[in-house]
Structure 1
Amino acid sequence: MVVSHEVDDRGLAELRRPRDDLVSEVVVGRDRFTLDHGPFHSWERTLQVDGGRDGTHRVVETITYRTAVAVWRPLFALPLRWAVRARRVPWWAPPDRLDARATRVLCLLACVQVVDGYLGTVITQTITFASDEFGRGDTAQGVTLAVVRLGIVVALGVVALADRRGRRRLLVATALAAVAATALGALSPGLWFLGSTQLLARGLTMGVGILIGVFAAEELPRGSRAYGVSVLALCAALGAGMAVWVLPVADLDPRGWRAVYLVPVVAIPGLVAVGRRLPESLRYTANIGSEQAVLNGNIGGRRKVEGYRLLCWPSPRSSCWYSPPRPVSSRTTS
């Protein structure tokens, strides 16, 4: 990015001052600044000053940077460019400035959260279609959805391993298992089989949501954790909305609803890529081999419960509440 300025002595002094807005700079030479702290992998700003006779200066400001927003870079390209040019903190930025690691972790978790939101919505969107194919009524639908809610037991089993196996490895493995269990539902010979696969899939999905909340709480600065949870909730809503986007396929054929369960398979390469790029939680890494971490296991458990409550409250596909089946014309996401 190249920006031209015509400024007086006061304006020149301002340009030569290290920035402390969206990014924090440090001086590395005359009219040259580099990254001190901010959501960038790299940052460099240089000034080329030509003095005028009337007390004005023509300044060519050159800024090169590489953001840490991972696959979300196209979404943030213009907003970041405007914020960098304006030299102020944008309204959409977190209260506490994130560094490159925290930004990367939040963006990667957001990718997993989109998949998680989709997986948590498919059964409530397709239960009526499946019941029509299998010739079952409203009672069978209600029983199936009630049984699926028992997946919370699976979720508790997943998060119980988080303090022993690590957040990153368990998060990715659980997400992949949830995709596989959901895809298996496409082969259902009956409503009982679909309910069984969804019991497992929804339990794993809830476990992923809890682990994402714990991971975010451990990586984000104290003043930006609520911001992080809000971003993740929006991503869950995006994933849930994607399930609704695909739903018209179910109207094309009596068995068309099965395609909705196969769509998450395309996310497997992305989840594997996230697993390779996502670092282990700093909190977990610091506590590896610590006897105190074992003694304080109840604290970790309480953190998981808090993360679950924070994530499920705003999530449109939350499994905290039971929603009875509704007619085809008024299906909603639970």
Structure 2
Amino acid sequence: MAARERVAVLDDAAVARALLPRTSVVTEREESPGVFVSTDGPTSSYRRVVTVGDAEADGRRRVTQRVDIQPAIPYWGWFFGPPLVNHLAKIGGPDDKVPMWFPPDHMDERATATLSRLGVMAFVLGYGATLLTQSITFIAGEFGADKGAQGLALASVRVDILLALPLTLWADRHGRRRLLVGGTIAACVLTALGALAPSLWLLTGAQVLARAVINASIITIAVMVAEEMPSGARAWSTSLMSVAGFFGGGICVMLLPVADLSDRSWRILFVVPLLLLPLAVRAARGLTETQRFVAHVENRTERVRPLEVLRTHRRRFLLLAASASLLSVFATPASQFLNEFLRTERGFSGAQITLFLTVTSIPGGIGIVVGGWLAEKGRRLVGATATFVGVGATVMMFISSGAGLYAWSTLASIIGAAAVPALGVYGAELFPTEARSAANGGISFASRIGSVVGLVFAGELGDRIGLPRAFAYLAIGPLILTVLILVAYPETAHRELEDLNPEDTALPPTG
């Protein structure tokens, strides 16, 4: 419980405003004169007491306000709690402006706590999802693999989606929570098996299994966010999940100097998920099934047939599947060959790669959060602009060196990251509950196809003409996507899922 007391000398109009129930970040109810409690908001306990003193010589009054708050933010309260408490402690009016770091829609206790716990799962999964990408150049050093072999290994591991697809279908039939919890636990264990691999190809096989459950679990997080968050906070919440995954991947980046200690020390990085497993299990205990899935099950009258449902949403599915493929044909190889490019074409050591990725990638977290906030005002313009500028800056990075390399990479990180929440939320928004996970699994499959094409192309062509020119050719895909976003994507900001998918069961009213 946090307590804050503020004192201000106010005129009569400001005093009157301070004595009204708030309606912005929290919705208050006046319990007694000058005493307010929350009926809706991101807190598990909230009480505001306003005391007004006698008039001073100039007619103004001394107002003392005490706020006792318990933010409903498990695990992340150390980061988000203080700014929330300080904002709510300010003396102001009932409809004071919502801060930019908070979504432009009400987040109640359940939504806030659920988002926090999903963030922990995203953090753990983010490490596993990033691991092979970051360590492949060091793994290749032990096994003597050239760029072509690395590209083939990275492309081969993309068949994980063939195993992830049945898992997403299972989630549409049996529930989101069960898939997410079981998948995260399995991901940690299967990733650790890679530490025992005697060859690049056996490591690739272990990663196929691990990444299958990782990707199915990440898809499930996106679905749970869409189903649990209010309509004006879905993109913003998606951005926070991306940041949480980014932090998990950041742990992997920070450990890269360990992989550079010897030819075999990269194996240590594959054991780390076992250390993160207790955190994931603890967070999972507080997760519940999504309200929309529960409502769907309670009103279901026949066996779930996700693939049949998708046929009635064929146009939406093909649009998003094509988009995912066009983006991945560039984004995946650009990400996965970056360390190889830095090590072999720019002469970076493991420590220098870590420094570069840290300096240039951390600002991407800002781009993700700002992109999520802007996307709540409109998805399409944010998504198209971020894609176009981000891809262009990435191409410039690969043809630069010295300070230009850092500058272009940072710009690509900030601007390009804004596309993640703006576009990522569409997959869950445009499909009904009965097929939401399956649809996103299919979109991920299309993304893998683009990834495989891009990885093989970049690997083979990179050995012949160099990675910079290879990525200039691959950038054609995202440029086509930019046009698609502007001319074919619907606007979904502030629209309920039941509005976008009329066949869904409406949630019962709350309160």
TM-score by length of 2: 0.59
Q: What is the CA–CA distance in structure 2 between the aligned matches of 1:74 and 1:310, rounded to whole Å?
A: 35
Query: Residues 196-207 of structure 1: matches in 2 within 5 Å?
Result: 196-207=205-216
Aligned residue type for 1:60: T
2:227 is paired with a residue of what secondary structure? Answer: helix
Residue of 21, 41, 44 corresponding to 1:41:
44
User: Which AA in structure 2 matches 1:304?
Assistant: S
* Structure 1 ranges of 4+ moved more than 4 A: 305-313, 324-327
Q: Which moved more, 1:302-311 or 1:239-248?
A: 302-311
> Secondary structure at 1:120's aligned position in 2?
helix
Matched, 1:77 2:210: no
Contact 1:108 1:274 survives alignment (8 Å): yes
Equivalent-residue separation in structure 2 for 1:238 and 1:306 (angstroms): 27
Deviation, 1:136, is: 3.6
Go from structure 1 to structure 2 and tell me whether the alpha carbon gap of 1:220 and 1:306 turns closer, same or farther (over 3 Å shift).
farther
Pick closer, same or farther for the CA change 1:12–1:289 going to 2, 3 Å: closer
For 1:32, the aligned partner's letter is: V
Return the offset for 1:38.
0.8
**Amino acid in the other structure paired with 2:87:** A
CA contact (8 A) 1:6 1:56 kept: yes
Q: Deviations over 1:46-96 (max 9, x none)?
A: 122221364332221110011012111111233213321344311111121
Deviations 1:245-286 (A, max 9, x none): 111101111110001111111111111111101121111222
CA distance in 1, matches of 2:29, 2:302: 37
Task: Provide the residue aligned with 1:97 in structure 2.
Answer: 106
Which of the residues 187, 198, 202 maps onto 1:189?
198
CA distance in 2, matches of 1:295, 1:308: 16
Letter in 1 for 2:40: H
Q: Structure 1 residue 242: deviation in Å?
A: 2.0
Cα drift, residue 113 of structure 1: 1.1
- Summarize the Cα distance change of 1:311–1:70 in structure 2 as closer, same or farther, 3 Å threshold: farther
Tell me, yes or no, if the aligned pair for 1:22 and 1:83 is still in contact at 8 Å.
no
The alignment partner of 1:180 has SS state of helix
User: Hey, what's the Cα distance between the residues in 1 that align with 2:277 and 2:267?
Assistant: 18
Counterpart-to-counterpart distance in 1, 2:254 and 2:208: 23
> How far apart are 1:138 and its partner, in Å?
3.5
Contact persistence 2:296–2:433 (CA under 8 A):
no
Count of residue pairs the alignment pairs up: 325
What residue identity is the alignment partner of 1:303?
Answer: R
Q: Which range moved further: 120-129 or 189-198?
A: 120-129
CA contact (8 A) 1:229 1:310 kept: no
SS of alignment partner, residue 265 of structure 2: coil
**Higher alpha-carbon deviation: 274-283 or 163-172:** 163-172
Letter in 2 for 1:9: D
1:39 counterpart letter in structure 2: P
**Could you say which residue in structure 1 is the equivalent of 2:451?**
321
Which SS does the other structure have where 1:269 is aligned? helix
- Spell out, residue by residue over 1:113-145, the C-alpha distance to the aligned partner (whole angstroms, 9 max, x if none): 122221111112222222322334444323322
Is residue 106 from structure 1 mapped to residue 115 from structure 2 by the alignment?
Answer: yes
Structure with greater contact order relative to length (CA < 8 Å, sep ≥ 6): 1
Which residue matches 2:179? 170
- Is the Cα contact below 8 Å between 1:209 and 1:308 reproduced in 2? no
Write 1 or 2 for the structure with the bigger share of helix.
2
- Does 2:373 align with 1:243? no
SS at match of 1:288: helix
| 1:19 alignment partner, SS class | coil
Report the CA distance between 1:158 and its aligned residue: 1.2
* Matched AA of 1:184: L
Residue 5 of structure 2 is aligned to residue 2 of structure 1: yes
When the two structures are superposed, what TM-score results if normalisation uses the length of structure 1? Answer: 0.89
Higher mean alpha-carbon deviation, 60-69 vs 127-136, is at 127-136
Check conservation: 1:184, 1:197, Cα contact below 8 A: yes
Are residues 137 and 37 of structure 1, via their aligned partners in 2, closer, same or farther at CA, if it must alter by over 3 Å?
Answer: same
In the alignment, does 2:28 pair up with 1:25?
yes
Could you tell me whether the CA contact under 8 Å between 2:172 and 2:438 is conserved in 1?
Answer: no
Secondary structure at the counterpart of residue 117 of structure 2:
helix
Alpha-carbon distance in structure 1 between the residues aligned to 2:442 and 2:86: 36
Distance 2:228 2:138 in 1: 41
Aligned 8 A contact 1:213 1:311 in 2? no
Structure 1 unmatched runs, 5+: none
Q: How does 1:1-334 map to 2 (within 5 A)?
A: 1-52=4-55, 54=57, 55-86=59-90, 87=92, 88=96, 89-292=98-301, 294-295=303-304, 297=306, 298=309, 299-300=432-433, 302-304=435-437, 307=440, 321-322=451-452, 323=455, 324=458
Q: 1:272 to 1:303 in 2, by over 3 A?
A: same
Q: 1:243 to 1:111 in 2, by over 3 A?
A: same
Distance 2:77 2:68 in 1: 15
Cα distance in 2 for partners of 1:274, 1:18 equals 34
Displacement of 1:4: 1.0
Percent of pairs with identical residues? 35
